Every structure is written in C-alpha cells, then in structure tokens.
Structure 1
Amino acid sequence: MRKGINAIVERRIYAESMGRCMNPKCQAELFKESGDIMEKAHIIPYCKTVDNSFENLIILCPNCHTNFDKNNAFSTDEVKEWKKIRADEFKRFFSKEYDNFEDLKSKVVPLLLENRAIFENYYLQNKRQLWDSVEGRVLSNNSIIREVLKQNTKLIQKHSVKEFSNLEIVKRFLLHIDEFENTRLSNEKVRGALFPTEINSLFGIEPLEDRFLPSVESIECLIEALQNKGEFETIVLGEDKPYICIKKNNGSEKIYLNDTPRLRQMYYDNNCFRSTDIRFESLNYALKYIKARGLKFDFLDIKNLKVVMVNDVKIVFVYKYCLSKVELLQLAPEEKCVILNLHNWNGKSCISQEAYELAEEMKVRLLTMDEFYGYINSIRN
C-alpha cells in the first residue's frame, strides 16, 4: 500500500512551485478558475524507492507530468535540475530586502487584494465548489507574501508591548498563512489562527476603527514630515473620525487617526513617535464641542495643533495634572488669550491658585474643562 505524502513535505513542494509548473520551459499557471491542475510527480518512481521526500517530489502541470512519466520526454537529471533552477529563482525573488515600507507595500498589496477578492466572491458567497478550485491561488499568493515579509521585518514597526506592535500583527498573519496551508487537505478545515484584519489597516487596504494613539506631538511631527515630502494636504479635527488628507497617486487619500496600525507604521517610517504632552483624544473632544456649538476654529500654524482661533480669541490647549505658576510662565501667553487645561481630573484643582493669580497679572484667562463649556456658549452668543 502506497504511503501518503507528509503534510509538511506537501506544503514545501506547493510553496516551491510558486503556483507554476516547475518545468522552466512551461511554467503553466496551476490554479485555474475551473480548478487546481497541479500534479505531484516522483522524480525517481515511487515503486523503486518508496521515497516521498521533498527531494524526490516535484509539482508539474498535467501535460509535463505525462511527458515525464509516460513519454520519457525528460530525464531524471533534467527534472532534478528544474528543482535547482526554481530554488535559485525563489531565492532571488524572495531574498530581496526593500529600502522602505512603501516599496514593500507595493509588492504585498496586490496579492492581499487578490486573496480578498477570491475570499469574498467565493467563500463568503457559499460557492464551495468554486472556492475549492481557487483556494490554491490563495495558497500560492500567501507563500509569496510570507517569504517577502520574513525578509523585510526590519521595515515593520515594533514595540516591546505586543498590543502596540505592528510586527506582532504580521507574526499573527504568518501563523494564519501556515495554518491555512496545513489544513488545506483536511475535510473540516478547522482554523484557529484567523486572518487578522489589522493587516488590511497596516497596508492601507481598509481602515480599522481602533483607539486613538495618545500623542498630539506625534501627529504634529507627522504633518511636518508629510509637508517636507510634498504629500500633506489638510487635517480635519473635531470629528468622530478625524483624519489627515494626503496626496496619493494624482488624488487624495484620508488617513483616519483611529486607523491605529497604519498610523503607527507612518510614525515609524517618518521617525515621528514623540512623548505625549497633550492627549489627542482630549484635544479632539474639545474641538468637537466647539464645532457642535456652531463655531469654527482655525489653526495659526498647522504644525502646532495646540493653538486655535475661535471668534478672534486665541485658545491654547494644555494637559497638566495641575497647571502651576512655573508652567504658566513657560507658556509665555499673550494678553487676552485663553488657556484651557484638558486634564479635568478634579475641577478647579486642575489649576493651582498661584497660576490663577499670575494669570490675572498677565491678563489671560485660565479654564478647566467644566468652565470651558460655558465659555464656548458665551462667545457663541
């Protein structure tokens, strides 16, 4: 009785083929809409060796398989050489290290999009027979994506805390790819490592609604970096889904500021991670309130989101546990401006008595968040 081929060996020969017949003069596509046409061939006949090793197996199209096995069109040495040729091609193709994330993205995104289209059009539509016939294309694309990502992990943002790391998302994706291959021949195909949707965010395919990254300073740095590259258009704040608009392929693209994996990657690519002085969510909330009262705000400097003009009043945002006299002096505010402490931990105690006294001398107005609501309503009227 013939022994079955080990699943790991089978996975290796599928990946080795890259979805094409291993005959260099053929290279026929092995995944057709009508079905998977790849065939496993023994280089030295199984009946002579009982050898199901990776070295003795090769993936061929039906025509080349017939020509090899029955027509003796190719010698054993020729077919062995095909494996070497494909291995060299595989190495050249996948060992490339890209210079930046955008170049990596240009390679990975078309494959992710093709997989997504196949999944949505066949699997989600319960077209099981058609899905089985095109699942091989997903496997082939995945094998390419896996090797490309493994060679370019240095381009992916990483963090010691897994929750904050795009590299951890990529690792989960690679685990999903491995499990997808391992269960291909299983009747039930029970899979635990599901496709991480954060991958679509990371590669700019579909935004993910996640929490805001805290640092306003990082956003300001990113704006400056995008301006220097001629890519920045505008930033829209005071919305449930604030975003930066950038120039992209002769058009515009929105980068939502709660699309966390993508924004993390942009910070990483542009060296824009900065410590948090003002928390973005608190700033955006205050700007939302201004808009909700029918008022407009304008930034005096787009690279400084901490200062806005509202009805000819300059409002300066700070985020201090308790705004002190020294911190107020360091701000050096202009007369008649308003300073709002977004850190609303304990009402008026968010601002020290000494700071209130100094503000009176400097002719500036200090507000807690509780006072801010009434103040905005007063200038609206």
Structure 2
Amino acid sequence: MQRDHIPAEVKRAVLVEAGHRCAIPTCRATTTEIAHIDPWAKSNDNSFENLIALCPNCHTRFDQKKEIDQQSIRMYKQNLSILNNRYGEFERRLFEILAKSGERVFVVGVGGDILVANAVKDGFFEDKHVEGMWLEIVGDNGYQKKFPMSFTFWVTDAGVEFIRRYASGVDISS
C-alpha cells in the first residue's frame, strides 16, 4: 500500500503545536520532521492526534533505535496540548530554561508579572515583592502612581515538581 501524504494543514497544525521545534522538552531543536506516534505502516493514520514534531535526531531515536518509547512520545504530545492551552509562550520558554538550569529564582522586567500570571495562579511561581526600581507617574492634577520596573519570582516546590515532570515527559495533567 502506498503511503498517503500528510495534508499540509495537518502538518502545519502539528508544527504550530510544538512551536516549530522538537516536541521533546529537553531537546527543542528547531529543525523538525513529522513523526507518526503509531507507525503509519500499522495504523494508516495521518491524523493530527497521531502526529508529533520531532527533530531528525529524536525521530531516529524514536522510530529506528527505539531509545524513546511510544508511551513517552504520547506523553509529550499530551503535555503539549496542556501547555499550549494553559500557558503563554513566555511561560513555556521559562519552564524550559528552568528545567535546564535548575534555578529557583528569576527576575523579569516591566510586565513580567503578566507574562507569568498563569504559572503564579497555579502555584508554580511566587512573587517575592523584592524592592527595586520604580517608575513614578505624576500628573498635573495631583495623580500619582508607582510602577515596579522588575519582579523577582521564586519557583515553588510545586513549580519544581511541575517543571521536572514536564522536562522528563511525565504526565503534567495532575
């Protein structure tokens, strides 16, 4: 049986889901291929649900060398869905950086509190309210407002566990 081509809109959706990067969080290489989670030869399935973006190296490690098992690939796919529906691009990149560095404290600039708001709401980061530089606005009518120029966050124990689970490809839904 001749292998069907994956429709362009399905390829695009799979690549967008992974941010045009390898779906494996410890890799995230920018050169990607579309991989079948259930092999096409067995499933004849080119659906979005059966496809994942992997770099050529991870694709080979999954398909040929069997160094990455199918259950892990399924978990990476499931985790992408959760991450993309709950967290912004800044939060997702921050999770990746913190997974690699192991840091527990980070500082973000103006507006950074908004960029990590969902992770704060979920209890993964805590604003330490460290005093720093402020911008003070004073209007002619006596209006005054101070805005912080930076925010210092602590990665909570729950955040450390979430990031560890995310980076290792374990289910992050709980």
TM-score (norm 1): 0.24
Higher RCO (Cα < 8 Å, 6 or more apart): 2
TM-score (norm 2): 0.50
The structure whose residues are more often helix, as a share, is 1
